[in-house]
Amino acid sequence: MTVIADLASTLHRVPMIRPWEPGRTFVELVVTRLTTGDGRTGTGFSWAPNVGGAAAHALLETDVREAAPGLPAHPAVAFDALSWRLHEAGYGGLTTTALAAVDLALWDLAAADGLTAALGRRRAAAPVYGSGVNRHYTLEELVAQARRWADAGLTAVKIKVGLPDLAEDVARVAAVRDAVGPGVRLMLDANQRWDLYRALRAAEALRPYDPAWLEEPLPADDVQGYARLRAAAGVPVALGENTHTVRQFRDLLTAGACDVLQPNVVRVGGITPFLRIAELARAFGVPVHPHLLPDLSGQLACCLPLPAMVEDVEDASFAALGLLAGPPPVRIEKGLAHPGDHPGLGLRFDEAVLAATRHDPGTRR
């Protein structure tokens, strides 16, 4: 079996078109190039919208780079070996964020005829929902964003809630519901900002606007809190973007903590663990909607056993950020994500853009 010969990673700070909040003007991208003993090269990446990119890069350039050479160039075999080697640094979080770059590079090599061909394509396209990090938007800006999504043909949208005043959240949700109409699915994301008491109050106040789901209302690791909330809220509960390991997802499912799972392919460690999570969710009859990264999530969504939606945060995909050379691997048109025909992951990064955004981890922000 071909083995991993070497890997090298670079850190980049990519300016955002629409800052996700005041002061957050860039995302951190780690690009990893992996070479095998027979001379082939695969490209993977890790990604952090806020913190952790530099730390993941450091882990890749030290412990991972020391441990990877000589391992079979097989995604699942390498993932399990590296996970065990690095578990003293944690089974999830930073460790899985770094390992994703290796796993994705190996899948880039393994999927010679394209990722959807390698995984088994089950549907031609997947529905897209418009999403925005918009808690800091004025009401007028928020409504205008929602109308852009509706005008683009999206049949589902997601907005942020969790402001200090619940009445303001209610007013904003009511305005967006009025803007998009009753036929559009409306999802609400609180980003872990509530405790159980406030989440129950919020669910009651927001229920009249027919939310398709309430996302991460509690801290992500509060399994029992989520189970109690789901039993009482009367609103579907979604979570998973800040859950990192298969065992953590197992605990959520066995506790009956959610109606929807949203694993982030980078935060869980790559496609290999993502597929394991999807099969676990299938056994519980819980749908998986990949979190963020539509350039990759659009491909995964078309291969999942249960129907899935693709999240497209406005102006935040790799394609929208200008990171890709040539056409993106997923085309979004009329509310649908269409994976194209391409080898590997289809992510050809623009070398000039990578050079311009390269960041020295030793410099301050």
pTM higher than 0.75, yes or no?
Answer: yes
pLDDT at 364: 55
Q: How confident is the model at residue 295 (pLDDT cuts 50, 70, 90)?
A: very high
pLDDT over 90 at 21, yes or no: no
- DSSP characters over 38-63: TS-EEEEEEEESSS-HHHHHHHIIII
Instruction: Assess contact for 11 and 30: CB atoms under 8 A.
Output: yes
Q: For residues 131-140, give the mean pLDDT.
A: 95
Q: How confident is the model at residue 22 (pLDDT cuts 50, 70, 90)?
A: confident
pLDDT at 363: 61
Token pair in block for residue 336? 């649908």
pLDDT over 70 at 120, yes or no: yes
Instruction: Assess contact for 238 and 187: CB atoms under 8 A.
Output: yes
Cα dist from 87 to 29, 92, 330, whole Å: 23, 8, 34
Cα dist from 345 to 40, 52, 224, 298, whole Å: 15, 23, 37, 11
Cα dist from 262 to 210, 216, 267, 296, whole Å: 20, 10, 11, 14
Q: For residues 356-364, give the mean pLDDT.
A: 82
Instruction: Please state which of the ranges 46-50, 290-294, 296-300, 308-312 shows the lowest mean pLDDT.
Output: 46-50
- What is the C-alpha separation between 140 and 120, in angstroms, rounded? 43
pLDDT over 90 percentage in the chain: 95
Q: For residues 161-190, give the mean pLDDT.
A: 97
Give catalytic status of residue 359 as yes or no.
Answer: no
Instruction: Please state which of the ranges 86-95, 106-115, 289-298 shows the lowest mean pLDDT.
Output: 86-95
**Which of these is catalytic: 244, 291, 342, 359?**
291
Q: How confident is the model at residue 137 (pLDDT cuts 50, 70, 90)?
A: very high
Q: Which residue has the tokens 């410099």?
A: 363
pLDDT over 70 at 29, yes or no: yes
Comparing CA positions, the residue from 341, 316, 344 lying closest to residue 331 is 341
Q: For residues 2-6, give the mean pLDDT.
A: 97
- Helix ranges, 89-188 (H): 94-110, 115-119, 139-151, 166-180
The b-or-e profile of 318-347 (16+ CB within 10 A means b, else e) is: bbbbebbeeebbbebeebbbbbeebebbbb
Q: For residues 2-29, give the mean pLDDT.
A: 92
Report the DSSP pairing between strands 156-160 and 126-131: parallel
**Which of these is catalytic: 160, 244, 289, 359?**
160
Q: How confident is the model at residue 327 (pLDDT cuts 50, 70, 90)?
A: very high
The domains found in the chain, sorted by start residue, are 4-111+351-357 (3.30.390.10), 117-339 (3.20.20.120)
- What is the C-alpha separation between 185 and 105, in angstroms, rounded? 35
Instruction: Please state which of the ranges 76-80, 244-248, 361-365 shows the lowest mean pLDDT.
Output: 361-365
Mean pLDDT in the chain?
96
- What is the C-alpha separation between 158 and 156, in angstroms, rounded? 7
Q: How confident is the model at residue 110 (pLDDT cuts 50, 70, 90)?
A: very high
Give catalytic status of residue 291 as yes or no.
Answer: yes
Q: For residues 237-252, give the mean pLDDT.
A: 98
pLDDT at 23: 78
- What is the C-alpha separation between 157 and 147, in angstroms, rounded? 10
Q: Among positive and negative, which fits the CA dihedral 102, 106, 107, 108?
A: positive
User: Rounded to 5 degrees, what are φ and ψ at 208?
Assistant: -60, -15
pLDDT over 90 at 130, yes or no: yes
Neighbours of 87 (CB within 10 A): 11
Task: Encode pLDDT of 34-90 as tens digits.
Answer: 999 999 999 999 999 888 999 999 999 999 999 999 999 999 999 999 999 999 999
Going by the DSSP 8-state scheme, the letter that residue 64 receives in this structure is I
User: Under DSSP, is residue 254 helix (H, G, I), strand (E, B) or coil?
Assistant: helix
Taking the chain, what is the end-to-end CA distance rounded to the nearest angstrom?
43
Q: How confident is the model at residue 1 (pLDDT cuts 50, 70, 90)?
A: confident
Comparing CA positions, the residue from 245, 240, 247, 249 lying closest to residue 290 is 240
Q: For residues 157-171, give the mean pLDDT.
A: 98
